[in-house]
Amino acid sequence: MINFQYLRTTTAKSAIALLVKDKNAKFLAGGTNLIDLMKRGVTAPEKLIDINHVPLKQIEQIGNKIHIGALASNSAVADHALIKEKLPLLSWALQAGASAQLRNVATVGGNMMQRTRCGYFYDTEMPCNKRQPGTGCGAMEGFNRMHAIFGTSEKCIAVHPSDMCVALIALDAEVILANAKGERKIPFKDFHRLAGDTPQLDNNLKVDEMIIRLEIPVSNLAKNYHYLKVRDRASYAFALVSVAAAFEISNNKITDVRLAMGGVAHKPWRLTASENFLKGKEATLTNFEQAAQLAMKDAKGFGGNDFKLKLAPNTIIEALNLAKSKA
Amino acid sequence: MEKRILKDDNDRVDGILKVTGQAKYFAEYELPGLTYGVLVTSTITKGKITALDTKAAEKAPGVIAVISHLNKPSAPAYEQEGGPQMKIFYTDKIFYNGQPIAIVVANTFERATHAASLVKASYAKEEFNTDFEKALKDPKAKKLQGQADYKRGIENAYKTAEVKLEERYFLPIETHNPMELHGIIADWRPNNQLTVYAKTQGVKATQGTIANVFKIPMENIQVNSEFVGGGFGMALRTWPLEIATVMASKHIGKPVKVVITRMQMFTMVGNRPAAIQTIGLGANKDGKLTGITHRAYGETSTYENFTEGVVNMAKFMYQCDNVNTTYAIVPVDLGVPIWMRGPGEATGAFALESAIDEMAHALDMDPLDFRIKNDPETDQQKNKPFSSKNIKEAYKIGAEKIGWSNRKNKPGSLVEGPWQTGYGVSIGVFNANRGKASVKGILKADGSLLLQSATSDIGPGTGTGMTLIANKLMKIPVNKITFELGDSSLPPAPSQGGSATLSTVGSAVNDVCVALNSAIAELAANSNMDATANFIDVLKKNNLPQIEVTKESQGGKERDSYSMYSFSIHFVQVKVHSLTGVVKVSKIVSVGDSGTIVSPKTARSQMLGGAVGGIGMALTEESIIDHRYGRYINNNFADYHVPVNADVPEIDVNFINKPDPYINPMGAKGMGEIALIGFSAAVANAVFNATGKRIRTLPITPDKILA
Ligand SMILES: Cc1cc2nc3c(=O)[nH]c(=O)nc-3n(C[C@H](O)[C@H](O)[C@H](O)COP(=O)(O)OP(=O)(O)OC[C@H]3O[C@@H](n4cnc5c(N)ncnc54)[C@H](O)[C@@H]3O)c2cc1C
Ligand code: SF4
């Protein structure tokens, strides 16, 4: 722990200005992840820029898109009538995360930016390429029950722990980012990244940028949907595997389908091959099973997490079953 | 303690204080000049400290002192040869990762925390092993006898039985993790006077340990511990961190408060040790047990041996002429374990009660019938009758309430969509103790009764139980009775452990009340009052503001003639998801057979807590170590999973509530341990009934169901 300066600002512009002034500055939103990391000595920012008073808490529909400000709390989003009605998958995913107390302070931007829960990452006495590049990956041959089965690298096999982000990638969300010069918009699927050779980077946010808001297209996925999270206890535990599933049926055929998984990769994992397979087909168990099998191509276990090779497809099937039975 | 508002006579006497934040726990005491200590811990698992750089810490703002083996104050017991090996600050040896090696004292907690991070230790590392299974397999690794081998009849008789089984069961380390963090406030004054505010299950034990280490008279030490935020066994000893705090206070001459972190809760205050057990069972085809063999290995540390009653239950719980047990402990480079609720018996019961269920299955018998058929008439180990035992009645009540008749003997028979339903049963048993305790009673002319004893309340509701005993005997309303505890200057009582407090201290309360009643009767007679005269009138007539009685109480010879145990039967219904492997406990019926229920509400709470702890043991709790480093991986509340509300269904608690004629004047037997003992096996048995999968390694997480 080192001393740090606490700053507070009320506009995104000034927040960004403060950020670029100092390499070792960090935004403080709900603080539910950042403060823990500071307490454990994993990160030691010299400046904390409190952005909780920046007016980015909006949840509103503009045209056919729903806008959610980066500082809207997880519970405000989950409980919002608009979200419940039009994007219930997102509401469910949020409800499945953390605890009510945490969701009340955790923000959308913070949730996207939350770091892995890998135990080695949190313990500064153990090796971890994500925390300290070059020290090795403690989990690879250690305790890796919670770890990734897709898109892993030799350097890091951590998973992104968010539930919300699994729904967002399934819903084709877009992220609006801003730096001092202006805004840019990227698809949600391009926000997080795989570990590759730079496991220290969780995502593609640049050092001078701030997350401003999400834009999520309204779709016809509010009828047949389910967020299924498999975990070690019924609440307040990170996912072993989670699946966001939603589809639209017309004339007995699946016309639109979204599938994404959490707890399996360094980023929320969209199941494009499975989606393509299901499109135009009937919502039957056999088809669900085949879609689940397709999703598992290139999956790889590391010992402790081998069970996910079975759990993941099973969870996809069950999530699709439950989405189907919702109608 | 303040007067309480009670809604009904069974309410907790301190309930209002607790839910309104008025109950004061050790860490909440503010002493003038209070300073804050933070412990520095070893980052290696075994070896020696070669250098300790404390300069930066000493220079940090607010720091008063850094104390370690280099500059510790005198603790005479540690200067002598022998005694404990891990004498804090009197050794440079590292016995395990996370061992306290220094304490930094500063004028705020934050400053002490910061300065502690600046202390740098250098080590000479040695090879180590924290892996219990590896030690067990290693022929060179030490194995120490933990309990004398036991044999009745033929050894390993199960091997030649008509129907036999031999299975191995694994229990990982569990960490108590009460909500309240451990710690202590120590205030060492001139002339070797010491006051401590402790989190302890025994104020007298804490007083004794400190007196012994620092070689000062017991009377010089005042230990206060009125409220304890959960112990589950981890506060049954005075830990090195507490001695370190006392040393710090002695060194700087100011009060020092230490509250350890949640992470330190995994390495400084013990745990339930891992255990590997083999059970051999033999039965004849009619379902009579003909042989029981229970062999257990438990984990211990290298610097201190820890043993518990893992194999006790096998010796008497079932009618069987041939029983043998062995129990060995295996040292590994971890902190020393300590009893955790239900202690060794809960470990043993997981194995034995699973095996009993496996045998019933092998015999194609309903496990309930099998149990009843082998229910012992007498204690074959002690060769004595049981003082009281109503197991068959308990089985019947529980079976009816859980809906046992819906159970199918063939596993996997009850299927609804992806969910499979199963039922399981098990029994828990624990020695019904009674020790020696003293209680003082002061009966006042204002109509009140004050009772005092140096016992503890780690949560079960000691004060409530004692108040109800007095209320019944003296017909004084509960809101006029006060029971004071958690203060070492009160009449002595043992530590709160082994489910003995109600039996032990309650008996002394009983004796005090009986004595007070006869004193009043005598006074009444002497002053020509009616024998039924109210004690207030009697005292007033005699111009007495109060009368006072102190009684020491303990059992007599009844234990020579009877075997005394408390029992509990656990019934659970589970639902197992065939695709995701998720297990949900969907229904619980517990039946306690522990004599008279003196305090119905707190007794029920004991059973509720036991069931919740049992769900944890069965499904979620496991302390994980990376044996390459000897460090815990999941030492926090996000990753060490205690059950949450959503894991716990409605719990139907029932009591036989028949007095034990011999144990004590109340006829009440303890029940803290039985609430948990055996519960995990009931869940494992139900999982088997639901799925046909026998899980012998706890906790039963989804991966094990899918495997
Ligand atoms: C015990 C526990 C259990 C949990 N369980 C779950 C779970 O089951 N599922 C789940 O999904 N999550 C879970 N979480 C994680 C939780 O969702 C995150 O901690 C939370 O969402 C982070 O949000 P925050 O606002 O508190 O972020 P902070 O901690 O304030 O910030 C996190 C990071 O985001 C950065 N940041 C914040 N806002 C912005 C912005 N607008 N632009 C750029 N950078 C920004 C900060 O600088 C920081 O680096 C759990 C957390 C805990 C502590
Ligand atoms: S998996 Fe990634 S985060 Fe975990 S130890 Fe390896 S490098 Fe570090």
Burial of A182 (0-12, 13-18, 19+ CB in 10 A): exposed
CA dist., res. A7 & res. A207, Å (int): 18
Task: Please list every residue in chain B whose beta carbon sits closer than 8 Å to the beta carbon of residue A238.
Answer: 638
Task: Please list every residue in chain B whose beta carbon sits closer than 8 Å to the beta carbon of residue A1.
Answer: 113-114, 117
Residue ranges around ligand 2 (CB below 6 Å): A 116, 118, 120-121, 128-130, 137-139, 156-158, 199
Cβ of A311 under 8 Å from any chain B Cβ? Answer: yes
Q: Give the residue on A whose Cα is nearest the Cα of B42.
A: A125
Whether A142 and B647 lie within 8 Å, measured CB to CB: no
Domain edge (last residue) among A52, A70, A91 = A52
Whether B631 and A238 lie within 8 Å, measured CB to CB: no
Residue nearest to atom 8 of ligand 2 (CA): A128
Cβ of A298 under 8 Å from any chain B Cβ? Answer: no
Task: Please list every residue in chain A whose beta carbon sits closer than 8 Å to the beta carbon of residue B701.
Answer: 232
Q: Which residues of B367-392 are buried (b: 16+ CB within 10 A; e: fewer)?
A: bbebbebbebeebbbeebebbbbbbe
- Reduced to 3 states, what is the DSSP secondary structure of residue B291? strand
Residue A168 in any domain: the answer is no
pLDDT digits (tens, 9 = 90+) for B38-77: 999 999 999 999 999 999 999 999 999 999 999 999 999 9
| Cα B274 to averaged position of ligand 2 atoms, centre (Å) | 27
Q: What is the band of B408 on the pLDDT scale with cuts at 50, 70, 90?
A: very high
Cβ of A105 under 8 Å from any chain B Cβ? Answer: no
Cβ of A238 under 8 Å from any chain B Cβ? Answer: yes
How many contacts (CB atoms, under 8 Å) link A and B? 84
Whether B644 and A238 lie within 8 Å, measured CB to CB: no
Q: Give the residue on A whose Cα is nearest the Cα of B113.
A: A1
CATH number at residue A11: 3.30.43.10
Concatenating the DSSP letter of every residue in B54-83 gives -HHHHHSTTEEEEEETTTPPP-HHHHSSSS
- For the record, the structure tokens of B544 come out as 């007495």
Successive 10-residue mean pLDDT values, chain A, 327 residues: 89 98 95 96 96 98 98 98 98 97 98 98 97 98 98 98 98 98 98 98 98 97 97 97 97 97 98 98 98 98 98 98 91
pLDDT at A172: 98
Cα-Cα-Cα-Cα torsion B704, B630, B199, B172, nearest 10 degrees, comes to 20
Cα angle value A64/A66/A72 (rounded, 5°) = 170
Residue A184 in any domain: the answer is no
Q: Which residues, including other chains, have CB under 8 Å from residue A30's CB and lie 6 or more apart?
A: A52, A73, A102, A105, A106, A107, A110
Whether B639 and A117 lie within 8 Å, measured CB to CB: yes
Q: Are A262 and A166 in contact (CB under 8 A)?
A: yes
Return the bridge partners of B184, or none.
Answer: B198, B258
pLDDT at B82: 83
Residue B5 scores a pLDDT above 70: no
Residue nearest to atom 6 of ligand 2 (CA): A137
Q: What is the band of B1 on the pLDDT scale with cuts at 50, 70, 90?
A: very low
CA dist., res. B278 & res. B291, Å (int): 14
pLDDT digits (tens, 9 = 90+) for B72-130: 999 999 999 887 888 999 999 999 999 999 999 999 999 999 999 999 999 999 999 99
Q: Are strands B323-332 and B289-301 parallel, antiparallel or unpaired?
A: parallel
- For the record, the structure tokens of A58 come out as 């909006």
Cα angle value A278/A282/A283 (rounded, 5°) = 80
- Reduced to 3 states, what is the DSSP secondary structure of residue B592? strand
Of the candidates B268, B291, B267, B296, the residue with the CA atom closest to the CA atom of residue B280:
B291
Q: Give the residue on A whose Cα is nearest the Cα of B630.
A: A126
Cα-Cα-Cα-Cα torsion B176, B92, A126, B627, nearest 10 degrees, comes to -60
SS (H, E, C) B356-399: HHHHHHHCCCCHHHHHHHCCCCEECCCCEEECCCCHHHHHHHHH
Determine the straight-line distance between the first and last CA of chain A, rounded to whole angstroms: 52
- What strand order describes the sheet that includes B163-171? B144-152, B323-332, B289-301, B275-283, B163-171
Q: Are B625 and B130 in contact (CB under 8 A)?
A: yes
Whether omega before B699 lies within 30 degrees of 0, making that bond cis, reads: yes
pTM exceeding 0.80: yes
Q: Which residues, including other chains, have CB under 8 Å from residue B143's CB and lie 6 or more apart?
A: B136, B297, B328, B329, B330
CA dist., res. B109 & res. A1, Å (int): 13
Residue A140 in any domain: the answer is no
Is A49 near ligand 1, meaning CB less than 6 Å away? no
Q: Give the residue on A whose Cα is nearest the Cα of B629.
A: A126
Question: What are the angstrom distances between the C-alpha of B556 and each of A155, A221, B14, B440, B466?
Answer: 69, 75, 33, 21, 21
Question: What is the CATH code of the structural domain delimited by B275-433+561-706?
Answer: 3.30.365.10
Average pLDDT (B492-510) is: 96
Residue A278 in any domain: the answer is yes
Per CATH, B32-126+176-266 and B275-433+561-706 having the same topology is answered no
Average pLDDT (B504-531) is: 96
Task: Report the gap between the CA of A315 and the closest CA in chain B (Å).
Answer: 6
Task: Report the gap between the CA of B38 and the closest CA in chain A (Å).
Answer: 14
Whether A142 and B628 lie within 8 Å, measured CB to CB: yes
Is A54 near ligand 1, meaning CB less than 6 Å away? no
Q: Mention the CATH class of domain B437-554.
A: alpha beta
Plot region of B177 (φ>0 → left; ψ -120 to 50 → alpha; else → beta): left
Residue A176 in any domain: the answer is no
Residue B370 scores a pLDDT above 50: yes
**Can B673 be counted among the known catalytic residues?**
yes
pLDDT at B2: 46
Of the partner residues A145, A233, A317, the one whose CB lies closest to the CB of residue B643:
A233
State the CATH architecture for B32-126+176-266.
Alpha-Beta Complex (3.90)
Share of chain B above pLDDT 90, in %: 97
Containing structural domain, residue A282: 224-325
The number of distinct structural domains making up chain A is 2
Task: Please list every residue in chain B whose beta carbon sits closer than 8 Å to the beta carbon of residue A310.
Answer: 706
Q: What is the C-alpha radius of gyration for chain B, rounded to an integer number of angstroms?
A: 27
Of the partner residues A3, A238, A311, the one whose CB lies closest to the CB of residue B702:
A311
pLDDT at B85: 85
Query: To probe the interface with B, which of A118, A232, A305, A306 has the most B CB atoms within 10 Å?
Result: A232
Q: Are B585 and B647 in contact (CB under 8 A)?
A: yes
Cβ of A236 under 8 Å from any chain B Cβ? Answer: yes
In ligand 2, the atom with minimum distance to the C-alpha of A148 is 1
- Reduced to 3 states, what is the DSSP secondary structure of residue B252? helix
Is A93 near ligand 1, meaning CB less than 6 Å away? no
Is A162 near ligand 1, meaning CB less than 6 Å away? yes
Determine the straight-line distance between the first and last CA of chain B, rounded to whole angstroms: 55
pLDDT digits (tens, 9 = 90+) for B649-682: 999 999 999 999 999 999 999 999 999 999 999 9
CA dist., res. B395 & res. A312, Å (int): 41
Helix A308-326, helix A285-295: angle, nearest 10: 140
SS (H, E, C) B107-155: CCHHHHHHHHCCCEEEEEECCCCCCHHHHHHCCCCCCEEEEEEEEECCC
Whether B580 and A228 lie within 8 Å, measured CB to CB: yes
> What ipTM did this prediction achieve?
0.97
CA dist., res. B302 & res. B268, Å (int): 15
Task: Report the gap between the CA of B584 and the closest CA in chain A (Å).
Answer: 8
- At B292, which amino acid appears? I
| Cα A32 to averaged position of ligand 1 atoms, centre (Å) | 6
Whether B113 and A1 lie within 8 Å, measured CB to CB: yes
Whether A234 and B641 lie within 8 Å, measured CB to CB: no
Of the partner residues A117, A236, A307, the one whose CB lies closest to the CB of residue B707:
A307
Q: Are B511 and B440 in contact (CB under 8 A)?
A: no
CA dist., res. B429 & res. B652, Å (int): 19
CA dist., res. B434 & res. B457, Å (int): 17
Return the bridge partners of A49, or none.
Answer: A7, A27
CA dist., res. A216 & res. A66, Å (int): 5
| Cα B579 to averaged position of ligand 2 atoms, centre (Å) | 29
Q: Are B124 and B104 in contact (CB under 8 A)?
A: no
pLDDT at B6: 53
Question: What are the angstrom distances between the C-alpha of B255 and each of B178, B198, B201, B668?
Answer: 25, 13, 22, 42
Domain edge (last residue) among A15, A33, A52 = A52
CA dist., res. B326 & res. B297, Å (int): 8
Is A159 near ligand 1, meaning CB less than 6 Å away? no
Report domain extents, chain B: 32-126+176-266, 275-433+561-706, 437-554
CATH number at residue A312: 3.30.390.50
Whether A314 and B619 lie within 8 Å, measured CB to CB: no
Domain edge (last residue) among A13, A37, A52 = A52
